[in-house]
Amino acid sequence: MRATIMRFLLILLMALPLYAQDNGPARADWLHYGGTQLSWRYSALDQINTTNVRNLLPAWIFQTGDYAENLHSTPIVVDGVMYLISARAQVNALDAATGRVIWQYRYPTPRPGIPGSHSDFIQNRGVAVGDGKVFFGTKDNFVVALDQKSGREVWKVSVDDPKQCGCNITAAPLVVKDKVIIGGNGGDQAHRGYLTAFYAKTGRLAWRWYVVPGPGEKGNETWKGDSWRFGGGSPWLTGSFDADLNLVYWGTGNAAADFYDGDRVAPGTNKTRDVNLYTASVVALDADTGKLRWYYQEVPDDVWDFDSSYEVLLMDRQIRGQTRKILVHMNKSGLTFVLDRATGQYLGSFNVPEVFNWISGVTDDGKLAGRYEPELGETRSFCPSAAGAKSWNSMAYSPRTGFIYTPTNEICTDVTPNDNKPEEGRFFMNGAFPMKLPPNRTAYSHVDAWDPATGKRIWSMPYKFVLLSSMLATAGDLVFTGDPEGNFFALDARTGNKLWSFQTGAGHRGSAISYSVNGRQYVAATSGWHQTLVGGAAAGLFPNENFRLGSTLVVFALPEGTK
């Protein structure tokens, strides 16, 4: 009996660190798209810090070969091996200390006629690693599993017919226990968005949750007529996971069509709550079953293309004197919500952009006030733009400072809506939306530090270009990001002062990470701009600047022997 108890205790002690390693910042690896399943984009490594970052130098460089595309990917590092996917779905396993290629796998080019296969959408934001496999999504809407050691294809499953749904996958999957969970593009297509979970071992379907409820399901009544069939809402980025609550959290996309709601919202609808559920929301789903546990709709009747698909940061913080399990979520408008992640209760919000006119503010109970909407037959100017005060690039959170770090772009849009009728799977934005400068000044951006518990901005660093690269925070009290000209730079996490910069040769659109191999800390920056829908439009606001294309990974470290 005693031996049995001792074996149980040993197993328990061995198992306890697994969650800490997977969801805490203690490991030398970068295990998930957001660093951990909590999505902080934070590394607990501090060998590189504010006193020595000026000495940072390139350690190795890797060219993906997809020069004309981009590099939106977040590398994953597990046990000294880096897994990096290119825009055209070449998966590279690299020695994380040297860049030596261990194996490569290139997914076949999708057959002609696949929606979204044109250059605007040739991108892939990353892989996931778990169960001895490397998982990724494809342009023709498959999820593929490769053997982690050899790169051999283990299984491949179709998520949906892209010719029918108009959708494809650019997001990195999220591995949760024995499942791999993934959303897809298609929020601007006439189609119902969904999240899908597959068993990691076999690729067999585990569950599917539809963002837009069908007839007989709660929430379907918030859609006019049969508009639910074309409702959009695709969750097109990567979610988060709380193992204690067994909940996965995801942001959902905008309702379709984007700028005209006459077909999906009944006249006289109260737009303060629950319109076109569950679009433009944060949702919590049971990780085992996919059942909806709670939701919070941030933008009821989203007629601005202000998706809520972005990253969901999970943390425990003091809120009004009480420690709460909270989540912090910024949608495309820059409006940032703080919710109780166990219940979905609204705890507060703050607005990050300096220039905005789509609402006048948010009420004490979290409702949007003073809505200013597109009008059929008119052209109206809106700030921020449909490209977002923040694009899909992630913010970061440092538990050392307690701050979140956000890139924010000050650009506006002229919206001219139309009332085209939906056709299954077809592009369905219903409007023109050219970007423009904000009133009485040039377009600009800023990196900010915010205390999410109070909604107070701690510091702000203005920047002359748009910033479309993710933030990385480290225990060395540093924040890293990059700009469209190719400058990769480090800021002091407590003050915002710029401490170091390096020209990588191509604009930054992806996400930097930090990891350690054999006691040496590295910072890896994905460098690769492309004139996509957002990147090209943003570049057009700076006609005299050179936003260079490319697809390169540049990995930095301190010189050997540096203390």
Phi and psi at residue 39, to the nearest 5°: 65, 35
Distance CA 16, CA 37 (A): 16
CA angle 297, 341, 209 (to 5 degrees): 60
Structure token pair of residue 49: 């810090």
Rounded to whole angstroms, how far apart are CA atoms 186 and 212? Answer: 13
Measured torsion, CA atoms of residues 43, 59, 524, 448, in degrees rounded to the nearest 10: 70
Spatial separation of the C-alpha atoms in residues 339 and 331, rounded to whole Å: 13
Count of CB atoms within 10 A of residue 561's CB?
5
| Helix H or strand E segment including 536 | helix 533-540
Distance CA 104, CA 85 (A): 10
With beta carbons less than 8 A apart as the criterion, state whether 472 and 463 touch: no
Name the one residue in this structure whose structure tokens are 């409006």: 335
Q: Per DSSP, what are the bridge partners of residue 210?
A: 194
Question: Which of 242, 305, 477, 492 is the catalytic position?
Answer: 305
Whether 305 is catalytic: yes
SS3 299: coil
Closest CA to 195 of 278, 314, 298: 278
End-to-end CA distance of the chain: 51
Residue 560: alpha-carbon gap to chain centroid: 34
Residue pair 415/379 in contact by the 8 Å Cβ criterion: yes
Pair of tokens at residue 19: 């969650």
Strand partners, 443: none
Cα pseudo-dihedral 224, 308, 424, 272, rounded to 10:
10
Asked if 298 contacts 331 with a C-beta cutoff of 8 angstroms, the reply is yes
**Tokens for 549?**
């294309």
For the stretch 215-245, what's the b/e string if a residue is b when 16 or more beta carbons lie within 10 angstroms of its beta carbon? Answer: eeeebeebbbeebbebbbbbbbbbbbbbeeb
Q: Half-sphere exposure (CA, 13 Å, Cβ side) for 271?
A: 18
Is residue 443 classed as helix, strand or coil in its secondary structure? coil
Active site residues: 305
